[in-house]
Amino acid sequence: MLIYKEYHNAQAAEIVLKGRVTTEEFAALAERLEALIKRFGRVRVLEVIEDFEGMDAGAFWQDVKFSLRHLQDFSRLAIVADPDTHNLWSSLVAPFMHCEIEYFPPGEEEPPGTG
């Protein structure tokens, strides 16, 4: 499941990942996030990963394509995840990102408009 919330005053979005992400959920999220990027240019994202069980193959492929298209469209990225998830993500994706990336253990994140 994906939960998406925008903070226009901070040019930011919050994305919560829980359980398994479907292709349809990711497509809807990508559409909303692309609209936010189109409106503001570079945006900030807070990604909270809770009990993540993976993605459908189609969702994974869409995520890869989305990420490659938007590598330079994020000004700041904060990721809240347990250390195992954090280590996997940081080794696969972080080297390609062109923005500041911060990691937080669960419970220590700040809302996007406060940092």
Ranges of each domain in the chain: 2-104
* pLDDT recorded at residue 78: 87
CATH topology of domain 2-104: Transcription Regulator spoIIAA (3.30.750)
Please give the chain's pLDDT, 115 residues, in tens. Answer: 999 999 999 999 999 999 999 999 999 999 999 999 999 999 999 999 888 888 899 998 998 888 888 989 999 988 888 877 655 656 666 666 778 888 888 876 565 555 5
Cα–Cα nearest to 61, from 21, 34, 17: 21
Specify the pLDDT at position 20: 94
Output the pLDDT for position 41: 92
